C-alpha cells in the first residue's frame, strides 16, 4: 500500500450499532437528502453499505448491519478496523440500551487493540422524543455505564466522544461535522484562515460547508452557536433551490454548434430583518463558505466589497492547501 492509499483509507468511518438503532436513517438523511419522516419506511440493513463524499478529503462511511458478528473467523475484522479513522456507534436512547453499551465496549476493546489512533464516537440517538431533563439523564447514564464497562476491560484511558442526536433537527449534522473534522489533516490551517478572514472583515461567524450534505468541514475558532449553524445550513438549502431554478444559458456558435455558457458560481447574499447579512460563496470541491456579517453601522455595499475581496484571498489559500495535500499524500 503506498502513502496515498494509506491516507485515503484512513478517511473512512465505520457506522455501527444494534438493529433498528437508526443507522440507515442517518445515512439516508445525511447523504441522500431523504426527508426524516420517509425513513420510517426503510427496511433493516442486511448487508454492509458504503457512502462516499468528497470535500478536502475523500471520505467513505461504511454502515455495518446490527446483526453482523464482526468477530467470527470468516470476517476479516482486523483489516477492517485497522483501515478506518473513526468508529461511530449509534445507541437508541428510547430503547433499553444496556446490551448496546456492552456491545460497544467489546467493539472498542477490539478496535483499540488493532488501531490505537481510531476516533471513538457515540451517537445517543432518537432524542427528539425525550424531554430536556430526560436527554441529560440518558446522556449521563450512558456515559457513566460506558466508562464502567471500559474500566473493567482496563481501557479507562480511551477517549470517547458522545453526541445527542436526532434526524428531525440539525443535531445529526452538527455531530457528523465534528466527527468528519477530526479526519481532516489540514483542519488547523483552515481554522487559522477563517480566523484571519473574520479579523479583516465584519464577519461574526464563518462555516465551510459541504454543500450536498450540509456537514461543515471547518469553522473559525469561536464557539459554534447551534441556532446560527441552523440558519446558515438552511441558507445553503435555499441558495441551492434558487440556483436550480435557473438553467445555465447556452448559445450557438458560427458553425451551428450549441455552446454551454461558463458554469455560474454559486453565490447568495441576504439581509435579515435584524440587519444581519448572510453571505454564501462557492469554493472548491463542492464546498461553500457561509458567513454571518454584522455591519454595525457600516453600509451593506462596503461590507460586501470587503468580504468579496477577502473571500477571494481565502479561496486562493484553499486551492493552495488542496493542491499541496494532493502532492504530499
Question: What would the mean pLDDT of 199-212 be, rounded to a whole number?
Answer: 90
Position 7 pLDDT exceeds 60: no
**Average pLDDT along the chain:** 84
Asked if residues 108 and 158 have their Cβ atoms less than 8 Å apart, the reply is yes
Across the beta sheet with 160-164, the strand order is 49-54, 58-63, 12-17, 86-92, 119-125, 160-164
Confidence of residue 295 (pLDDT cuts 50, 70, 90): confident
Are residues 112 and 81 in contact, defined by beta-carbon separation less than 8 angstroms? no
Summarize pLDDT for 116-168 with one digit per residue, the tens: 999 999 999 999 988 889 999 999 999 999 999 999 999 988 999 999 999 99
In what helix (H) or strand (E) does residue 161 lie, and over which residues does it extend?
A: strand 160-164
Q: Which residue has the higher pLDDT, 9 or 308?
A: 308
> Mind listing the pLDDT tens digit for each residue in 217-233?
999 999 988 889 999 99
Q: How many residues does the chain have?
A: 329
Long-range contacts of 144-149 (CB under 8 A, 24+ apart): 145/98, 145/101, 146/101, 146/104, 146/105, 146/122, 149/101, 149/102, 149/104, 149/105
Question: For 108-117, what is the mean pLDDT?
Answer: 90
DSSP state of 46: -
- Quote the Cα angle for 182-184-190, to 5°: 105
**Could you tell me the pTM of the whole model?**
0.83
Mean pLDDT of 299-312: 88
Q: For 254-277, what is each residue's pLDDT tens digit?
A: 666 655 554 567 888 998 888 889
Helix (H, G, I), strand (E, B) or coil at 176: helix
Whether 172 contacts 26, CB under 8 Å: yes
Amino acid at each position: 500500500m503506498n502513502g496515498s492509499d494509506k491516507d485515503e483509507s484512513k478517511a473512512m468511518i465505520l457506522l455501527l450499532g444494534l438493529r433498528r438503532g437508526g443507522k440507515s436513517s442517518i445515512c439516508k438523511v445525511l447523504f441522500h437528502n431523504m426527508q426524516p419522516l420517509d425513513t420510517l419506511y426503510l427496511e433493516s440493513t442486511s448487508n454492509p453499505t458504503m457512502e462516499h463524499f468528497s470535500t478536502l478529503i475523500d471520505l467513505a462511511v461504511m454502515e455495518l448491519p446490527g446483526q453482523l458478528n464482526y468477530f467470527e473467523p470468516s470476517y476479516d475484522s482486523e483489516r477492517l478496523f485497522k483501515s478506518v479513522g473513526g468508529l461511530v456507534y449509534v445507541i437508541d436512547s428510547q430503547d433499553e440500551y444496556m446490551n448496546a453499551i456492552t456491545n460497544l465496549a467489546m467493539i472498542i476493546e477490539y478496535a483499540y487493540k488493532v488501531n490505537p489512533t481510531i476516533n471513538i464516537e457515540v451517537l445517543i440517538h432518537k432524542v427528539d422524543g425525550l424531554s430536556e431533563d430526560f436527554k441529560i439523564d440518558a446522556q449521563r447514564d450512558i456515559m457513566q455505564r460506558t466508562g464502567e464497562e471500559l474500566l473493567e476491560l482496563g481501557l479507562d484511558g480511551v477517549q470517547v466522544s458522545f453526541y445527542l442526536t436526532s434526524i428531525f433537527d440539525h443535531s445529526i449534522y452538527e455531530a457528523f461535522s465534528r466527527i468528519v473534522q477530526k479526519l481532516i489533516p489540514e483542519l488547523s490551517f483552515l481554522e487559522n484562515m477563517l480566523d484571519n478572514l473574520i479579523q479583516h472583515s465584519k464577519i461574526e461567524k464563518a462555516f465551510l460547508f459541504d454543500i450536498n450534505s450540509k456537514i461543515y468541514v471547518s469553522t473559525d475558532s469561536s464557539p459554534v452557536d447551534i441556532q446560527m449553524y441552523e440558519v446558515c445550513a438552511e441558507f445553503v438549502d435555499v441558495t441551492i433551490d434558487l440556483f436550480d431554478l435557473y438553467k445555465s444559458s447556452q448559445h450557438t456558435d458560427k458553425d451551428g454548434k450549441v455552446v454551454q455558457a461558463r458554469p455560474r458560481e454559486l453565490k447568495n447574499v441576504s439581509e435579515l430583518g435584524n440587519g444581519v447579512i448572510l453571505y454564501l460563496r462557492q469554493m472548491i470541491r463542492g464546498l461553500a463558505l457561509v458567513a454571518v456579517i454584522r455591519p454595525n453601522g457600516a453600509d451593506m455595499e462596503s461590507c460586501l466589497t470587503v468580504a468579496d475581496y477577502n473571500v477571494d484571498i481565502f479561496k486562493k489559500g484553499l486551492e493552495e492547501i488542496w493542491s499541496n495535500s494532493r502532492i504530499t499524500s
